Amino acid sequence: MPVTSVVKDPEALTMTVVADFAASRERLWEAYTDPRQIEKFWGPPEWPATFLRHDVFPGGRSHYVMTGPDGTVSAGYWEFLSVDPGHRFEVRDGFADGEGNENDDMPSMRMVFEFEDTDTGSRMTTTTSFGSADQLQQLLDMGMEQGMKAAMAQIDDVLADLASFAASRPAEAQILNDMQVRVSRVIRGSVDQVWRAHHDADLMKRWMLGPDGWAMPVCEVATAVGERYRYMWEPETGGEAGFGFEGEVLEMDAPNRTVTTEQMIGLEGEPNRNELTLTPMGDRTLLVVVITYPSREVRDMVLGTGMVGGMETSYARLESEVLG
């Protein structure tokens, strides 16, 4: 059981939980900042979590849903107030609806997560601050303390599973729900380097090509909210028709997050929504793209085209030819 102490202070309106782990501080930090990993332990075993968004930078947000054994869904959010990579982050934590909007009828709280080295591995101290004694008691009555203990009891298995999240793994897709897919890949390079590679036309033409044998003659980049982009590809030797995508920037928080629409040129219908998040992982970058499709049918059709394999080919080219 990782939890070594729980201290509730009614006067300071805080609850402090200390947990010790055999893994390194860096490995523990990685487990909390990678959505693929945190969703394996954030929430009691009978209420598994799915993180639909996880932006670990000041001003970033997370949105997760937990599903109970009878199908009941409980959603929450984090608003990141500060981040000291590898050592500490502070969030405003609260309840949300299925779209990630705050539920103002329920209390929110501040949580500080601190990570430190120990002689046997690492320690995490989580301090939760409540707005009032009534809020503290309300959340304790709802099982907050027991829920945190149950959640942390699952972390050891995640920390021991090095293979599933190794930096050498290729891009992989995870279906989040009927309309959303998350594609993840650890890139060998800094966040600033990977961000630039996604927003510099000259660099993009060198790596964002999918399978070998294609060129990118049109690369009109959008670098601000409201701007539109346009990308087109064609075979280097001819014989096949080219194709392209276009869209608009909806959100941009350089160098960590951008949200765009995406639609194949010449096709009508509702566009996809792509959310790109870059998170530092030591000297590497965790790249996560959450794609929201108009329907389950469109989702399955696109996945069936080999999209993820094409993305992996491009990311491998990014590492070898641009960042190498």
Task: Provide, rounded to the nearest whole percent, the portion of the chain with pLDDT above 70.
Answer: 99
Separation between Cα atoms, residue 47 and residue 127, nearest integer Å: 23
> Strand, coil or helix: what is 226?
coil
Instruction: In whole angstroms, give the CA distance from residue 307 to residue 51.
Output: 22
Q: What percent of the chain has pLDDT over 90?
A: 74
Q: Give the mean pLDDT of 149-174.
A: 88
At residue 30, φ and ψ (nearest 5 deg) are -60, -40
Confidence grade of residue 1 (pLDDT, cut at 50, 70, 90): low
Average pLDDT value for residue range 285-289: 98
- Pairing relation of β-strands 109-118 and 3-9? unpaired
Identify the DSSP state of 165. Answer: G
Q: Are strands 180-187 and 172-175 parallel, antiparallel or unpaired?
A: antiparallel
CB atoms within 10 A of CB 160: 11
User: Could you tell me the CATH superfamily of domain 172-322?
Assistant: START domain (3.30.530.20)
Structure token pair of residue 223? 């670098």
pTM value?
0.92
pLDDT band at 43 (very low <50, low <70, confident <90, very high): confident
- Express each pLDDT in 82-118 by its tens digit: 999 999 999 999 999 877 888 888 888 999 999 999 9
Domain parsing of the chain, residue ranges: 3-162, 172-322
The per-residue pLDDT of the chain, averaged, comes to: 93
**What is the DSSP secondary structure assignment for residue 271, as one 8-state letter?**
P
3-162 architecture in CATH? 2-Layer Sandwich (3.30)
User: What is the spatial distance between Cα 138 and Cα 128, in angstroms, rounded to a whole number?
Assistant: 14
| pLDDT over 60 at 288, yes or no | yes
Distance CA 310, CA 302 (A): 12
Q: At 109, which helix (H) or strand (E)?
A: strand 109-118
Q: Is 297 helix (H, G, I), strand (E, B) or coil?
A: helix
CB–CB of 281/165 below 8 Å?
no
Residue for token digits 């279906």? 175
**pLDDT above 80 (res 238):** no
Contact 234, 251 (CB under 8 A): no
Task: Note the Cα 204 to chain centre separation in Å.
Answer: 23
- Given this model, what pLDDT does residue 189 score? 95
Q: pLDDT confidence of 241, banded at 50, 70, 90?
A: confident
Better pLDDT: 132 or 181: 181
Say what the pLDDT of residue 111 is: 96
User: For the residues 51-67, what does the mean pLDDT come to?
Assistant: 96
Count Cβ neighbours within 10 Å for each residue of 118-141 and write b for 16 or more, e otherwise.
eeeebbbebbbbbeeeebbeebee
- Distance from C-alpha of 271 to C-alpha of 263, rounded to nearest angstrom: 5
Closest CA to 262 of 249, 247, 279, 281: 247
The pLDDT of residue 17: 93
Span 267-289, average pLDDT: 95
Written as one letter, the residue type at 185 is R
Does residue 142 register a pLDDT over 90? no
Q: Which residues contact 238 (CB under 8 A, 6 or more apart)?
A: none
In contact, 234 and 252? CB cutoff 8 Å: no
320: Cα within 13 Å, side-chain hemisphere: 7
Residue 141: enclosing H or E segment and its boundaries?
A: helix 133-141
Query: Cα(307)–Cα(87) distance, rounded to whole angstroms?
Result: 36
Q: Which of 301, 226, 303 is nearest to 261 (CA)?
A: 226
Per-residue pLDDT, 166: 83
Strongest mean pLDDT among 136-150, 160-174, 192-206: 192-206
> How does residue 266 score in pLDDT terms, banded at 50, 70 and 90?
very high
Give the bridge partners for 173, in sequence order. Answer: 183
Q: Facing residues of 64 across strands?
A: 51, 76
